[in-house]
Structure 1
Amino acid sequence: MKDNNGNSQIFTGARVLGYVSTHVPLVARFIKRRGETLLCTSVGKWFHTYGCDKFRLLSVSGEHPGPITCMAGDGFHIYTASENNIYAWRRGCELKHIYKGHNAAVHKILPFGIHFISIDKDNVLKVFDIKEESEFLELKFEKNFKITTICHPPTYLNKILLGSKQGSLQLWNIRTSKLVYTFKGWDSHVAVTEPAPAVDVVAIALQNGKIYLHNLKLDKVVMQFTNDWGHVSALSFRMDGLPIMVTGSDDGHIVMWDLEEETVISQIQKAHTAKIAGLQCMMSEPLMITNSRDNSLKMWIFDMPDGGARLLKKREGQAKPPHLVRYCEPTGENILAAGGDSSLHIMNTVTETFNKSLGQASINRKNSKRKNRLQIDTNIIAPISHLSSCMQRDKQWDSIASLHKNMKTAITWSYNRLCMGKHKLKSPIIDKQVRATCLTVTHCGNFVIIGYSNGQVHKFNMQSGLYRGHYGNEKLRAHKGALRGVETDLCNQRTITVGSDDKLKFWRFKSETTPYHVMRLEHGVQKTKCHRESGLLALANDDFSITLVDIDTMNTVRQFEGHLGVINDIDFDSQSRWLVTASADSTICTWDIPSAQLVDVFAVEEPCTSLSMSPTGDYLATTHVGELGVFLWANKLLYERVFLKPVSRDAVNVPKLKLPTTAPEKPDIEDIATIDLGEVEYKSPEQISMELLTLSGQSTSRWLNLLNLDIVKRRNKPKAPLTVPKSAPFFIPTIPSLELEFDLEKDKEDTTKLLIPDTLVTLTPFAKKLVNCETDGDYEICILKLKDMSPSAIEAEVSSMAPDVGGSIDVMQQFLHLIDNVLKSNKDFELAQAYLGLFLKTHTKVISQSSDLKSTLQSVGESSATAWLRLQNSLLYNICVVKALKDICLI
C-alpha cells in the first residue's frame, strides 16, 4: 500500500502558495551592492525576501524548528528567533550562525554593532558576539519591569532604551552593564519605542492610545498626540526630509501626523484588514512599507495633495484560511481560491508575481463607498461556498459564478478584468427563505444552472444575467428535497440533477417539465463532480462511499468504499483514470477507475477541505483546516517509474505526510545511507508469448519517417551554402564531426606503406556482417546494429546494397532473410515493416529482374501475412466483445 519510506505512491509535497506575512514585523535592509532595499517577512517557520524594485519574491529561507517569533537585520545578516534559539542568515537562505543560551522563547532582537541583543519571555536580556557565537552579557530583570520594547537612540554610545509593561522606561549602558536612568513613564503599557530624526528624541506609543515625543536628555515631553483609531502597533518617521510621523493601529488604520503643526494631515482607514504588524518609511524616498497579520505586504507612496499616501504595490494572500480551490485554465497554471474573508484569489503555480486578488464579494460596492465617502465596503457578504468557471468566453463576459453561504443570489466574477462581475443572478420566483445549494457553469460559458434548497433548478444567461427557465413542473420543482448537485454534459445536451430525495434525474438541456430518465439511489448524496470529457459522474454519499455513474448509459459503473469520515471534496484527473477524494478523517485517497481499486492513500496533519487536480496532471492542489496557503502535491508518475498496486484501507498502515512547505525539503547527510530504495524495479520480459506481436520500444523518430526521408531532407536543406572545412592531408584520416579532428588512433602494428586496401570489395561493414549471417543469433546482432543507427544511416545502408552502387544480390537476399527472421520471431514488428517498406521502395527494379530475390520476397510476404492475420483476428475479437457489452448496457 505504501513504499518503504512511508510516503504516498503517487503524490509528494511540492510547495505552498499564498503565504506572504504573519504577525511578525517586517525587516527592511538596504543592500549597497544591489542598490536595492530588501524586505523580509515571516511566513511561519520560514521567511521570504522581496525586492522593493519589482516587489517580487527573491528567496525563501530554510525551515526553523518552530514558528518565527521575531526578526531583525543589519547590513550583513537577517536574525530570526524560533523557540529558544536565534539564527543568523546571509542572502536570505544561507544559515551562518546559531545562538543558544536562552531558556525561554525569544520575543525581541536588536542588532548592536558587532553584537546583538535578545530578550526572552522570562525577562532575561542577553548580548551575543555575532562572529564568535558567544554570550557577552546577561541581565535578569525583576517582574516589576517586564520588557516589551527595545531601541537604540542614535548618538547614545553603547546605550539602549527599554520599555516595560508597567509603563516605566530604563536607559542601560551595555558596555558597563549599568542602569543609566529610569523614566517614570505614564502608567500605561509601552507598545512601541522608535528613535526620531531629532537628536535625543524618542517616540513612545502607549497601550492607551497616547503618543509621546520625549527628550531623553532633559526627561521632558516635547509633544503629545492621541490616536483615536485604535491602539498604536507600529510607528515610523519619514526619512525624506519632511517632519511627518506615521502610525499604524490594531484596527488596520494608518495615520500621518504633522510634527510642526501637531495635527493629523491624512489617514488611510482599513489599510489592512487586521493589526498592522510592521511599518517602515524608506530612507530618502517618499515610500512606506507595511505588513500585517492579514497575510499582506504593501508599499505606499506619499504623493497625495494632502500629504497622504496611496497604495503603490502589494503582495497579498488569503486573510482567512481558504476552503475552496479550483483549477480554472487548461494550462494548469492558475488556481482559483476562495477564503473565509469572502475574497477570491488567483494563484499562479509558476511564479507568485502573477498572483492576483479579485476582491471581496459585495452586494453593492459603489453605493457603500458613496454613502460612507470612504474607500471601505460595508456590504461584504458571506464567504463563497460553491464555485464554477469556464474560460471559453472570458474576453467577452464574466466567466466565474459563485454561491455564498445561506444566500439565494449567485454572483459572477470576471477573470479577464480581475474583479467582481456585473450580475447578481437571482430568480424572480424564489421565496426569501430559500437558499442556493449548488451550481455549474456550462462548458460553452453561456449559461449557469443553479439548484436551490426547495428543490427548484433555474437557468441563467452569463452574458446578460437574465433568467432563462427552470426544470420541473410540479410547483416548478425538479426534486422534492434540496438540490445536492447539478451538472451538464460536454455538448449541452443534458442536465443532471441530484436531490436529497435520493433521486438522480436526467433532463434535456432546454427547459423540460419532466426528466427523460430517473435513477433511484441507494444512499443520500452530499456533493457531485462530473468529468464531461468521459461522461462520468461521481457522487459522494452520506455513508462515506463514492458512486460512479456513466451518464451515457445511465448506469452505475463503480462503487468505492473506504473513507471513515464525511467526504469533503472529490475530483477526477485529466484522463478520468483516477478519482481523488478528501475526507474529514484527514486522508486523501486515489481510486483507479478502470480497475475499481484503491491505489493510493495518505493522511495529512489537518483535514483537507478542498482539492483540485491539474488539467495537465502535474499537481494536486489542496486546502486544509486553519491553513492560509494552497498546497501543491507533485505527481511522481510524471518523472519516476511507479508501478501502482491495489492497497488496503487499514488505518494502521496509512502513511502520514507533512504539508508541503515554501522551500524544497533536503535529506540530512546522515540519513542518505539509510534510505530504503523500496522494492526491486520490475523488468518486463523481452516477449510474453510467441503468439503475440512484440514491438521494439524504439521511438517513432527512428522508423516512422524512413519512407519520407527525401521530403525531410528537402525541407531541412540549408538556405545558405555550406562552408567547406579546411582540407586535411590525404594520408591522415579524419574523425566524422563538426570540428576538424584527425584520427590518430591507428593500429601501430600496421607498418605497411601502401595506401591500397587489402581487398577491392566495396561493401559497408554492416553489409559484410550481413553476408556472413548463418544463424538466428547472427541476424539478431544485425538487427541490434540497425537499432543503433539513425534513419539517414539506415537509408544509406539499404541504398548501398544494390549491385550498381557497390553491393550485390547476395547482400540484398540476406537482408530479406533478416526481415523474414524478425517477422517469424514476432519481435520488433514495426521495425521490420518499416525496413521492408524502405527496401521495396529503393530496390523495386532490381527485385523484378532477379528470380532469387523474388522467391525470397515471397517467403517474407507469407511471414508478414501470417503475422497480420493473427493481429487482425485479435482486434476483431475485441471489437465484437466491446460491442456486445455496449448492447447489453443499452438494453
Structure 2
Amino acid sequence: MEKKSKLQIVPKATIVKGSKIFDPFRTIGQVASAVGHSIQHRGQASFITTCIGNSYNIYDVETLNLLFVGPQFESQIDCLVSFKNETFVSVENKVYACRRGKLIAEFEYSSQESVFQLLLQQVFESKSYGSPITFIEQSPALDVLGLGFLDGKIVLVNVKQDAKLLSFNQEGKVAGITFRTDLDNQAMMATTNLEGDIFIWDLEKAKIVINMKGAHDGAIGTINFINGQPLLISSGEDNRIVEWIFDNYSGGDYSWPRLLKHRSGHFATPLKVKFYGNEGKKIISSARDQTLRLFSIIRDSQSTEFSQRLGSKKSKRDSRLPNILQFASEESKQRDWDNVLTVHNGLAYSPTWSVATKAIGKFDLVPSSTSVVKAVSISPCGNFGYLGTLLGVVEMFNMQSGISRKIFKGHSGAITGIQTDDRNRLLYTCSLDKTIKFFKIKDSSIYKDIKLPSVPSLILLHRSSDLLAVVCDDLIIRVYDAESGNLVRQFSGHKNQITDLTFSPDGRWLVSSSLDSTIRTWDLPTGYLIDIFKVTSVPISLDFSPNFDFLVTCHADSIGLCLWTNKTLFEQVGICRVDENDVSLVSVPASELGPDTIDEDEEKTTVNTEEPENVNAVNGISVDEPYMLPYQITESCLLTLSDQPKSKWETLLHLDMIKKRNKPVVPAKPPVSAPFFLPTATGIEPKFDVSNGPVNPGTDEDENSRVKFGFGSIETDIVSYLKSGSLSGDYSELFKYMGTQSVSGIDYEIRSISSADILLLFCKAILWQLKEKKNFDFAQAYLNVMLNVHGDVILDSYRDDMDIDSEDNVGGSIKGVLSEIQRVSETEWGKVDGLARIIYYE
C-alpha cells in the first residue's frame, strides 16, 4: 500500500485551449446513483453522501440542502464511506481520502506487488445457507446480523451462537437492509430489491407489514433508518434521494410512510432543454425517462418534476406518457391557464401543462386530421397553441378553452418546425417537402413560400430582430429575413447532424450543436465563426439564457444539465474570426464550481502538482499579449463615444435631483474643524496645504504670517489643465483627468470655475473635443452642466456695444464658441438622422 498525501486532482494538461466565450460552470440535476450512499452522524446533525458518477455530493439530512461537492475522479466511483470529517472513495485500484469536498490523500495498491502477510484473524465461520450473500447489516441487538441473499431470502442470525433467529422471503435479490432504532417496544426492519421496492417487516410478529411497490424507478442503492428518528432514507439509480417519515404509527397499527423530503433529477438522457421565463433562473427539460422537469439554477430545492397524475393500478413507468421530443412554453399566462405544450413519440394529440401547478393540464389538444403531432408552438401572448402534424397540416387551438380555431394547409410533408412572430401576424412553418411557408394568421393564407435545397429539420425565430434560422440535412444553417424572406446568412462547417441551435438574446450570435461533438458560435453581423470547441460528450440540446449570462446544454451520456458562463460579461474577450480546424477538447462542467478543460491528447485526469506556465492562453493568445479592441476608432470621419458607462453621464445630468432625494432627514453633524492656523487646500476632501508654509523663516513678516489672504490665487486642477491646454492647443490631458473623476468630482470641478475667462477656455475645450470626434456623449454632458451652473455668469459678461472679438467682451467670445459648438453638434446629429432614415426606408 502506497500513500500520497496533500495532492490535488487536476487535469494533466491544464487549460491550453478552450472556448473563448464560454466557461464550464456547473452541472445541475445530479443527485444520486446505484452506488450506495453513506450516512454520517456528527453530534445532533446527520449528513448523507451520495455518488454521482465520478464525484459525490454531501447533503444535510434535515434540509437535504447540498453542502459540499467532491473532486472529479478519473473514473466512476465504485463505493464510498464517510467517517467523522473524512469521506473515503474507491476508484478502481485506488482509495482517495477527502475532507469537506477536498482531496487530502491517495492510497494506491499495485497489483504487481506480492502480499506477504494478511493482517486478519478468523473470528467466526458460519454454515452455508445455499445462496450467495448479497448484503450484511448489523442490527441494534448485540451479536445479531441481518443477512440478505441473492434468492430474496433474509435471515437474522446470532453470530456468536451460529443460530438462525428469523427468516423472511421477499421478491428479488436483497439489495439493502436497515433496522429502526427509535421504538422502545417494537422491532422494525426495512429491506429493498433491485426493482425499486421497499419492504417493511415487523420482527415481533415476524411478518411483512408494508410493501412499498415502486418506491424508486429502478434499483435502490442503499436504505437507512436515522438513529433515534422515525426517518427512512433511500437512494437509487433513478437519481433520487427520498426521506420517508413514519409518523402515523400507534398501538401496533402500521400505515404507509409519508414522503417527507426528496431531491431528484432525470434518470435518463435529456432530449430537450430550454430556459423558461425572462428572468433566466428556471429551465424546463424533457428526457428519455418520460418526464418533464423544471430546474432552478439558484436553489436545488425548487427543482421538481411535472406531475402526470398517474393512476395507482399501473407502475409509474408503464403509466407515463411516451418520451417528450419537443415542447413549447410561454410565461405570460402561466397564472391564468396552461402554458406548456409537448410533442410525444407516436401520440396523435398534444397534452397541455401548467408551470403554476407543476402538473399536466386540462386538455389534450387533438388535431382534426387525427395525425401524429410532430411540432408545437405557443404565441407570445400565451392565448394560442399551434400543432404541426405528420400530414403537413398546422392547427391553431385556444389555450384557455382547448378549442380549435384555425387550420393552415399548404405543406405536402410532415411539419418539422413552427414559429410565430411577436405580433401574432405571421406563422412560420417548415416541412419535409423542402419548403418554408409564411402564413397570415388572420386569414390562414400563405404570405410567402421559400424553396429549400435540402430537407429542414429545425426552425428558430428571433422575434426582436425578425431573423429566421433553419437547419437543413445538408449540414448548413440558413438565416432568412422573417419579413421579406431574403436569405441573409449561411453557415456551414458541421461534420455531422446538427442537433440544436439558439440565438443570443440580442440576436447577434447563433450557437449550434452537432453530433460531431462541437458547439459553434456564429457572429451574424459579420458572418464569421467566432468560437468553436469540442466537448467530451455529444451535445443533444442547448439554449441561451435571456439574461445573456448562461448557456445550458444536455449531453448523450449524462443525466445532468450543464451550465456554461458567458465570459464576455465578466472580462474583455477579443471577438474575431477563428479557424474551424483549431478545435480543442473541453470536458463538460462538473457538479462543482470549477472548469475542467483538457487537451485532446490527454483525456485522462491525473494527479499533477506542477503549476501551468500560462493558464489563460486561449487560441494562441497569451496573457502577456491579449487581443485588445481599439479604445477609439481612428478614422477621422467617424464619431465615437467614450468608454465610460452610460449611467455615469446620466447621473451627472441629474445629480442635483439625486442629492435632493438622498438628503437625510436629520442633517449630518459637521466634522470637527482643524485649528485656524493650519491651512487646507481646496477639494472634495480637505487636505493640509503644506505648500503655503514659510520658505525662508524670518525673512518677511507678511510672507511668514500664519493668516493668509488673497483667495483669488486659488487654482483648482481643472483650471490648471484648461490653461495648459490653451497654450498647447491640446486638451486631451483635461478629458483624461475628467474621465478618472467620480460624478461628484466632475460636478465640483465644473462648479469651481469662478471667472468668465476660465469659462471661455472650458467652452474652447468642449469644441476641441467635438472636432476630435471623441467622447461625444461626455462632452455634451459637461457642456450641459456648465450651462446650467454658469449660464448667468455668461449672460452678465456679454456686452452688445462691444466687438465680439474684443478682449473685454468675454461673453461675446463665449457666444461665438457656443455657436461653433452648436454648428458642429448639428452636423453630427444630421449624419445620425440620415443613417437612421436610410435604414428605416430600406
**Deviates further, 706-715 or 68-77:** 706-715
Structure 1 residue aligned with 2:670, among 716, 724, 730?
724
Select the residue among 475, 498, 512 that pairs with 2:430.
Answer: 498
1:481-523 deviations in Å (ceiling 9; x for gaps): 11111221111111122121122212121452x4132222222
By relative contact order (CA 8 Å, sep 6+), the higher-ranking structure is: 2
Matched, 1:45 2:27: no
CA distance in 2, matches of 1:854, 1:666: 63
For 2:331 and 2:616, how far apart are their aligned partners in 1?
Answer: 45
Q: Would you say 1:662 and 2:591 are equivalent positions?
A: yes
Give how far 1:402 is off: 0.5
Tell me what 1:165 maps to.
none
8 Å Cα contact 1:470-1:511 kept in structure 2: no
Deviation at 1:403, TM superposition (A): 1.0
Q: Does 1:412 align with 2:352?
A: yes
Which residue does 1:215 correspond to in 2?
Answer: 158
Please tell me the residue identity of whatever aligns with 2:178: S
Q: Please name the residue that 1:488 is paired with.
A: 420
- Is residue 684–residue 748 contact of structure 2 (8 Å, CA) maintained in 1? no
Matches within 5 A, 1:76-475: 76-91=85-100, 93-101=101-109, 103=111, 139=118, 177-227=120-170, 229-241=171-183, 242-305=186-249, 306-359=254-307, 361=308, 365=309, 368-369=311-312, 372=313, 378-427=318-367, 429-431=368-370, 434-472=371-409
Letter of the structure 2 residue corresponding to residue 830 of structure 1: D
> Residue in 2 aligned with 1:528?
459
Q: Is 1:820–1:860's contact at 8 Å kept on the other side of the alignment?
A: yes
Per-residue deviation, 1:701: 4.8
Tell me, yes or no, if the aligned pair for 2:273 and 2:285 is still in contact at 8 Å.
Answer: yes
Of 534, 551, 557, the match for 2:488: 557
The question of 1:864 aligning with 2:821 is answered yes
Look up the match of 2:739.
787
Deviations 1:20-78 (A, max 9, x none): 1111111111111xx31000001111110000111110110112222111111222422
1:409-808 aligned at under 5 Å gives the runs 409-427=349-367, 429-431=368-370, 434-472=371-409, 478-510=410-442, 512=444, 514-650=445-581, 653-665=582-594, 670-675=610-615, 677=617, 678-679=621-622, 680-681=625-626, 682=628, 684=630, 686=632, 688-732=634-678, 751=697, 754-757=705-708, 759=710, 761-766=712-717, 769=720, 770-771=722-723, 774-776=726-728, 779-801=731-753, 807-808=754-755
Give the letter aligned to residue 840 of structure 1: L
Distance 1:216 1:334, change over 3 A: same
Range 838-847 or range 192-201, more displaced: 838-847
Change in Cα spacing, 1:557 to 1:100, as seen in structure 2 (3 Å) is: same
CA contact (8 A) 2:133 2:150 kept: yes
Alignment match, 1:10: 21
The change in CA–CA distance for 1:700 and 1:426 in structure 2 (over 3 A counts) is closer
Q: How far, CA to CA, are the matches of 1:816 and 1:665 in structure 2?
A: 53
**Equivalent-residue separation in structure 1 for 2:491 and 2:758 (angstroms):** 62
**Root-mean-square deviation (Å):** 2.9
Taking the aligned partners of 2:262 and 2:543, their CA distance within structure 1 comes to 27
Check the 8 A contact 1:47/1:61 in 2, yes or no: yes
Q: Tell me if structure 1 keeps the 8 A contact 2:124–2:159.
A: no
Contact 2:648 2:743 in 1 (8 A): yes
Question: Aligned residue for 2:63?
Answer: 54
Asked if 1 retains the 8 angstrom alpha-carbon contact of 2:726 and 2:761, the reply is no
Contact kept in structure 1, 2:201 and 2:209, CA below 8 Å: yes
- For the residue of structure 2 that corresponds to 1:710, the secondary structure is helix
Residue-by-residue CA offset, 1:502-559 (whole Å, 9 max, x unaligned): 22212121452x4132222222111211222222221110111111122211222221
- CA-CA distance at 1:744 after TM superposition: 8.7
Distance 1:703 1:693 in 2: 18
Q: How far apart are the structure 2 equivalents of 1:542 and 1:857?
A: 68
What is the number of residues matched between the two proteins? 790
Instruction: Return the alpha-carbon distance in structure 2 between the equivalents of residues 735 and 760 of structure 1.
Output: 11
1:244/1:307 Cα in 2 relative to 1: closer, same or farther (>3 Å)? farther
Counterpart in 1 of 2:6? none
What amino acid does structure 2 have at the position aligned with 1:451? G
Q: Is the 8 A contact 2:763 2:818 kept in 1?
A: no
SS in 1 for 2:784: helix
Shift in Å, 1:102: 5.1
SS at match of 2:262: strand
Superposition deviation, residue 669 in structure 1:
5.5
Distance 2:131 2:15 in 1: 59
* Structure 2 Cα separation of the partners of residues 745 and 381 of structure 1: 85
User: Which SS does the other structure have where 1:846 is aligned?
Assistant: helix
Shift in Å at residue 838 of structure 1? Answer: 3.1
Shift of 1:750: 7.0
CA positional deviation for 1:82: 1.0
Letter in 1 for 2:401: S
Find the residue that maps to 1:239 and give its secondary structure: coil
In terms of mean alpha carbon deviation, does 748-757 or 257-266 score higher? 748-757
Instruction: Kindly indicate whether the alpha-carbon contact (under 8 Å) linking 2:37 and 2:48 is maintained by their aligned counterparts in 1.
Output: yes
- 1:786–1:457 distance in 2 versus 1, CA, 3 Å: closer
> How far 1:735 sits from its partner (Å)?
9.0
Which whole-Å deviations, capped at 9, do the CAs of 1:848-869 have from their partners, x for residues lacking one?
3434223322441353244235
- For residues 312-360 of structure 1, the C-alpha deviation after alignment (integer angstroms, 9 at most, x for no partner) is 110111121111111111111111111111111111112212211113x
Q: Secondary structure at the match of 1:827?
A: coil
* Superposed counterparts of 1:829-848, under 5 Å: 829-848=776-795
1:818 to 756, 765, 775: 765
Give the AA of the match of 1:467.
Answer: S
| Contact 1:65 1:83 (C-alpha < 8 Å) held by counterparts | no
Q: Secondary structure at the match of 2:643?
A: coil
The answer (yes or no) to whether the contact 1:771–1:810 under 8 Å persists in 2 is no
Q: What percent identity do the matched residue pairs reach?
A: 29
Contact 2:25 2:595 in 1 (8 A): no
* Deviation at residue 787 of structure 1 after TM alignment: 3.5
Q: CA deviation at 1:310?
A: 2.0
| TM-score when normalising by structure 1 | 0.83
Contact map agreement 1:265 1:308 (CA 8 A) in 2: no
In structure 2, the CA distance between the partners of 1:749 and 1:97, relative to structure 1 (3 Å rule), is: farther
**1:196–1:645 distance in 2 versus 1, CA, 3 Å:** same
Q: CA deviation at 1:794?
A: 4.0
Counterpart residue type for residue 656 of structure 1: L
Contact 2:195/2:219, CA 8 A, preserved across alignment: yes
SS in structure 1 at match of 2:124 = strand
User: Partners of 1:624 and 1:842 in 2: how far apart?
Assistant: 62
Say which SS state the counterpart of residue 843 (structure 1) adopts: helix
Give the Cα separation in 1 of the matches to 2:494 and 2:730: 58
Q: In the aligned structure 2, how far is the partner of 1:767 from the partner of 1:378? A: 79
Q: TM-score, normalised by structure 2?
A: 0.88
Question: CA separation in 2, counterparts of 1:74 and 1:793?
Answer: 59
